[in-house]
């Protein structure tokens, strides 16, 4: 089952000297209607990657704004990570011999984790291809998707994705209510969900 990740508390006030009063006020105003909302972020690892670094900053700031934000990482074995490493490379244009066994491994881990997610949320963010199948398997038992809006957050350039891998993944990510990419140029033109572009940022308070 997915495991919760603890984060160090942060205050938006720490950023005032970097961004100024107006930006802080705008963030607080935008967050006001979301106070009390339950937001879950799901990804594959708690350490050692750009997504983990982003979430270590984002989650405590959401909490500081009164949003009930959680971060969980999926439970997976070594073979799954071998498969998703190949998938990651294929999504960026590298040829890999995609096989039924690889697809089955990915599906099995996603289904096992989906079966363990039972709480209700307002929004669920799923990061990158590794856990992208979660929504499919949750909807097999709960058509309402735990009452949440589901967002797939892709941090990869998918424009040159290997067709057989993209065709496999596309059937899962098109179930999402929205998809978020880093740049316009990273988006597959035929992707179905509502799209948004949110570039990553470096946390000026990180050491």
Collapsing DSSP states into helix, strand and coil, what is residue 41? strand
Q: What angle do the packed helices 134-141 and 100-116 form, to 10 degrees?
A: 60
**66 falls within a domain:** yes
Predicted local distance difference test score (pLDDT) of residue 188: 79
**Total domains present in the chain:** 1
Within a domain: 178 = yes
115 domain-assigned = yes
- Quote the domain boundaries for residue 148: 3-197
CB 147 within 8 A of CB 124: no
How deeply is 206 buried, as exposed, middle or buried, from its count of CB atoms within 10 A (0-12, 13-18, 19+)?
Answer: exposed
Mean pLDDT computed over 164-180 = 95
Q: What is residue 193's predicted lDDT score, i.e. its pLDDT? A: 76
Q: What is the pLDDT of residues 36-67, one digit of tens each?
A: 999 999 999 999 888 999 999 999 999 999 99
Report if residue 202 sits inside a domain. Answer: no
- The CATH number for 109's domain is 3.40.50.2000
- 57 to 31, 73, 151, 162, 188: CA distances (angstroms): 16, 16, 19, 32, 28
Residue 97 predicted with pLDDT over 80:
yes
Residue 71 structure tokens: 């971060």
The model's pTM:
0.95
Count CB atoms within 10 A of the CB of residue 100. Answer: 7
In a domain, 205, yes or no: no
Q: Kindly state the DSSP code that residue 157 receives in the 8-state scheme.
A: -
In a domain, 207, yes or no: no
pLDDT bucket at 19, cuts 50 / 70 / 90: very high
- Cα–Cα distance between 13 and 66 in angstroms, integer? 14
Looking at the domain assignment, is residue 54 inside a domain?
Answer: yes
Q: How confident is the model at residue 149 (pLDDT cuts 50, 70, 90)?
A: very high
* 97: in domain: yes
**Could you say which DSSP state residue 184 is in?**
G
User: d(Cα 134, Cα 191) in Å, to the nearest integer?
Assistant: 18
């Amino acid at each position: 089952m997915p495991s919760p990740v603890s984060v160090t508390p942060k205050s938006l006030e720490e950023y005032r000297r970097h961004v100024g009063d107006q930006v802080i006020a705008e963030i607080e105003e935008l967050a006001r209607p979301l106070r009390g909302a339950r937001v879950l972020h799901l990804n594959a690892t708690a350490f050692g990657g750009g997504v983990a670094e982003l979430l270590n900053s984002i989650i405590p700031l959401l909490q500081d704004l009164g949003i009930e934000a959680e971060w969980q990482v999926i439970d997976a074995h070594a073979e799954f990570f071998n498969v998703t490493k190949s998938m990651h490379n294929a999504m960026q244009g590298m040829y890999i011999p995609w096989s039924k066994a690889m697809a089955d491994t990915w599906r099995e881990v996603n289904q096992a984790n989906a079966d363990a997610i039972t709480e209700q949320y307002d929004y669920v963010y799923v990061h990158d291809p590794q856990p992208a199948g979660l929504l499919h398997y949750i909807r097999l038992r709960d058509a309402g998707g735990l009452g949440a809006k589901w967002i797939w957050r892709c941090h990869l350039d998918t424009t040159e994705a290997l067709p057989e891998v993209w065709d496999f993944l596309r059937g899962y990510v098109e179930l999402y209510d929205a998809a978020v990419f880093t740049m316009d140029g990273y988006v597959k033109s035929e992707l179905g969900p509502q799209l948004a572009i949110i570039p990553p940022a470096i946390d000026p308070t990180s050491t």
